[in-house]
Structure 1
Amino acid sequence: MRPLRIGLFTDTFLPDQNGIVTSVGLLSDELRARGHHVEVVAPFFPEAQDTRSDVRRAASVRYVFLPTYRLAWPTRRDFAERYDLIHTHTPLTLGLAGARLARKWGVPHVATYHTHLEAYTHYVPGLTALQRRTRLVTRLMGRYYRRANAVIVPTAGMLDVTRGMGVRSPVVIPTAVEPEVLRGAPPIETPWPAGRRRLLTVGRLAREKRFDLVLDALAGLPNGHLVVLGEGPERGRLEEHAARRGVADRVSFLGVRPWTEMGAYYRLAELFLFASDTETQGLVLQEAQLMGVPVVAVGARGTLSGVAHGRSGYLVAPGDVGALTRHAAAILSDPALWARLSRGARRYGATWTPGGVAERVLDVYAGVLGTPQEVPFAEGAAALTARNTLVYDH
């Protein structure tokens, strides 16, 4: 395969921190290391100071109903050279723009299904009721993904979702995590009080992530102290919920932490709790397990394959706070069980490396371009002496 010009279109990128940012950033790093020219097309953030050479910012406006989100729409005039292939990571504004450019230029369009948007309709006034009556969001997403030349999903649990939209032959390629950044995180001062069991959860503090259920489980773990890493519109309500449940003194909301520090929090944690039932993959589960932290999480959609049940942690039914609490208590009370699950978590979390994921994605690119991939660009990797990695500066 010759070196390609590739456009990765995403509605979220640095300074945001989430699984899509990780996925797109690592993919760009690995593709460029193999000799390809890659541009990450992302919304302009006024507060962003790009340290990466691969980012192209598109003019954007703040979304009034979710102020942390920005809407962008580039045109062909924004691009001096066309891409050989466009890979979208969103069906929203930049994803639509990328698909439109691919059609105008006559180049392949690959789309990754990262987000189950039907679970996010509450961010658009009136859309939840409209979706219930007409399935409008589902139909529009189906139309978008059916028009792509290839569709990638991060977990087997998402195959049925995309097939239900009429997508033919979606390909499962899990998102990778960067093990060296996590393992190389410098030590931090522990945020957990002495003598308390160290519980951790990570993610955007939004209604669909169900952190309220994690707080409910904490109420049944009297010796546990929960550290919450992340920020979002639900933080105030979650703090109020913690007070109502009588656990406000046993939870620490630390906000967004630099990516370079995240490994230190995982390293100190004893148990990772997660209750979202809307994930397409749940990348934080993989990060926790990579660092040897057993997981107790809701098993739904993408998280069903995110934890090796009984080997790296446990999965419970959506909304089952009792099971979440029981499994957490069992792990914390049995050192031998904790050690076995920790070993299993390290093995399971290391299943997908960034390089291996990139090779799978290149196979998809080769298929839609009609140019089977024969050899990786080892010379390109050697020439890239200062590979950009995902570093969040705050």
Structure 2
Amino acid sequence: MRLYRIGLFTDTYLPGPNGVATSVYLLKRELRRMGHEAWVLAPEMPDADPREEGVVRVPSVPYPFFENQRLAMPSSRYLPTEFEIFHTHTPLFIGIWGARLAYRHRLPHVSTFHTHLEKYAHYIPGVATLNKYVGIMQKVCQAFYNRADVVIAPTEPVKRLAESYEIEREIKVIPTGIDTDLLEAAPDPASPWPSGKRRLLHVGRLGKEKSVDVVIRALAEIRHHVDAHLALVGMGPEQQELARLARQLGVEECLTFVGPVPYEKIGGYYRMAELFLFASETETQGLVIWEAQAVGLPVVAVGAGGTLQGVDDGRSGYLVPPGDYQAMAAQALRLLQDENLRQRFSQGARRFADQRTARRVAEQIVAVYDEASRLVQVEPRRLTLPFPRFPQSGLTGPR
């Protein structure tokens, strides 16, 4: 196996609570365990661990319209080594920086299509309207990902989405890895569920695109039959609106906003819960539902996008139509009211999630690096695209 010096370029990283940050962290860790010299280049964040091995923090400023998001100011003086592989994870400032460096030095560029960007257009003033009429988000994705040598998609639906954007590069389907050992090793938290209540859990950003209101409406239906309590792990701009909805539905006392939880501690909440509810229609991979199942937590989720392949329907959980809180409640009750069934689904969840260990995924990605290294030798350079220009000081920086 050839060992590489790899740059993982991302505009979102831990302690940011999202699937892209988690997937980049796990990939970096596994690549280093395999002997590669892997580095994450990510925006500086106030709560970031300055001692994390293999991470370079690029100066950044807050983005006012999206909490925990930073706008980075890349410069080649922050590069820790001369990379042989550029792996971009976001088509934003740091991702564009990585793409430009790969192009400039005629080196392999691999890019992972993590996110359905159109679903996040409302966080950029004016872009949602612009996207509606001229498809600006599709044009950005097309320009960025066609610059790569190989594109990675986490699921088949995401591959089809990329193809619909007229991304013409080869697209490999490789799921995001999960770390079962870390989830199992997480400490038990103080329980957010009152004693004697059935323990429901949702993990994710509290934003419109996550459809957490559907989960709360399902909770109200569930409580007509079962004394259940819902814990919401995560934060986001919709928290006050969701609290208002809970009051209107009369379930305010049956819901706990836990807030953000560090990745190394999230496993404790999965283990303590009895059922995981998830209603997002915008997922490209549904990483949290895989994490839940990895520790034996059955799932009831909306069957859309990446979640369609994230649940073994009828064995590890149930899939329901988008927005259908009544169907979500009905399937949740099937599991809550039949403990033998719930235990069978718990075992099925572990078996299903076992196929996505972080090490297996990293090995598949290294094979893509090998392929990109061959392609860059035989294919012509990409056309120059109108991306922002960054300093031209070369690859070598402080070590």
**Does the alignment reach a TM-score above 0.5?**
yes
More deviation, 233-242/79-88? 79-88
Residue equivalent to 1:199: 200
SS at match of 2:6: strand
Distance 1:301 1:98 in 2: 28
Say which SS state the counterpart of residue 190 (structure 1) adopts: coil
Aligned counterparts of 1:46 and 1:271: Cα–Cα separation in 2 = 34
Shift of 1:339: 1.5
Deviation string 1:94-133 (CA, Å, 9 cap, x unpaired) is 1111101111111111000111000001001121111111
Contact in 2 for aligned 1:200/1:269 (Cα 8 Å)? yes
1:141-177 Cα offsets, whole Å, 9 max, x none, are 1121112100001111111101112223311111111
User: In structure 2, what is the Cα distance between the partners aligned to 1:314 and 1:237?
Assistant: 27
Question: For the Cα contact (< 8 Å) 2:14–2:22, is it kept in 1?
Answer: no
Equivalents in 2 of 1:160, 1:84: separation in Å? Answer: 29
* Equivalent residue number for residue 209 of structure 1: 210
- What is the correspondence of 1:285-296 to structure 2 with a 5 Å cutoff? 285-296=289-300
Secondary structure in structure 1 of the residue aligned to 2:222: coil
Question: Which moves more between the two structures, 61-70 or 187-196?
Answer: 187-196
Change (3 A) 1:96 1:173: same
Counterpart code for 2:23: S
| 2:56–2:78 CA contact under 8 A, matched in 1 | no
Contact 1:73/1:97, CA 8 A, preserved across alignment = no
Indicate the residue corresponding to 1:135 in structure 2. 135
Whether 1:248 aligns to 2:252 is: yes
Match of 1:368 among 372, 378, 394: 372
**C-alpha separation in 2, matches of 1:80 and 1:39:** 8
Q: 1:198 touches 1:225 (CA, 8 Å); kept in 2?
A: yes
Match of 1:333 among 323, 330, 337: 337
Range with bigger deviation, 197-206 or 254-263: 254-263
Q: How big is the shift at 1:73?
A: 3.1
Q: What residue number does 2:176 align with?
A: 175
Q: Is the Cα–Cα contact under 8 Å of residues 22 and 263 in structure 2 kept in the other structure?
A: no
- RMSD (Å), alpha carbons: 1.4
**Corresponding pairs, count:** 371
Q: CA deviation at 1:324?
A: 0.8
* Cα gap change, 1:213 to 1:4, in 2 (>3 Å): same
1:184 aligns with 2:185: yes
| Aligned-partner SS, 1:61 | strand
Any idea what SS the aligned residue of 1:350 has? helix
Task: Describe the SS at the equivalent of 1:351.
Answer: helix
Residue 2 of structure 1: aligned partner = 2
Structure 1 residue ranges without an equivalent (≥5): 372-394
CA–CA separation in structure 1 for the residues paired with 2:76 and 2:107 = 13
Q: Report the 3-state secondary structure (helix = DSSP H, G, I; strand = E; otherwise coil) of the residue aligned with 1:110.
A: strand
1:85–1:203 CA distance, 2 compared to 1 (3 A) = same
Question: Which of these residues, 276, 281, 288, is aligned with residue 272 of structure 1?
Answer: 276
Q: Secondary structure at the match of 1:144?
A: helix
Question: Among 228, 231, 235, which residue is 1:231 paired with?
Answer: 235
How many Å separate the matches in 2 of 1:293 and 1:282? 14
Residue aligned with 2:115, SS:
coil
Alignment check: 8 A CA contact 1:175 1:283 kept: yes
For 2:231, what is the secondary structure of its paired residue? strand
User: Which letter does structure 2 place at the counterpart of 1:76?
Assistant: S
Is the Cα–Cα contact under 8 Å of residues 279 and 300 in structure 1 kept in the other structure?
A: yes
Task: Give the residue type in structure 1 aligned to 2:212.
Answer: F
Listed one character per residue, the Cα deviations across residues 166-221 of structure 1 (whole Å, up to 9, x for unaligned) are: 22331111111111111112233322112211100001111101111100100101
Match of 1:83, SS state, is: coil
Letter in 1 for 2:251: V
In structure 2, distance between residues paired with 1:55 and 1:185: 23
CA distance in 1 between counterparts of 2:25 and 2:182 reads 13
DSSP 3-state at the match of 1:226: strand
Aligned to 1:94: 94
Contact 1:30 1:355 in 2 (8 A): yes
Secondary structure at 2:66 match in 1: coil
Deviation at 1:80, TM superposition (A): 5.8
Amino acid across the alignment from 1:121 = A
Q: Deviations over 1:45-87 (max 9, x none)?
A: 1332323120111111111212421011313343364311100
Retained in 1: the 8 A contact 2:199–2:274?
Answer: yes
TM-score (norm 2): 0.90
- Inter-partner Cα distance in structure 2 for 1:346 and 1:104: 45
Retained in 2: the 8 A contact 1:312–1:344?
yes
1:347 Cα deviation after fit: 0.6
Give the equivalent residue in structure 2 for 1:104.
Answer: 104
Give the counterpart letter for 1:350 in structure 2.
D
Structure 2 residue identity aligned to 1:250: C
1:199–1:227: 8 Å Cα contact kept in structure 2?
yes
Letter in 1 for 2:260: V
Residue matched to 1:144: 144
2:203–2:234 CA contact under 8 A, matched in 1: yes
Deviations 1:259-314 (A, max 9, x none): 33322211111110000000011111011101111100011111110000111001
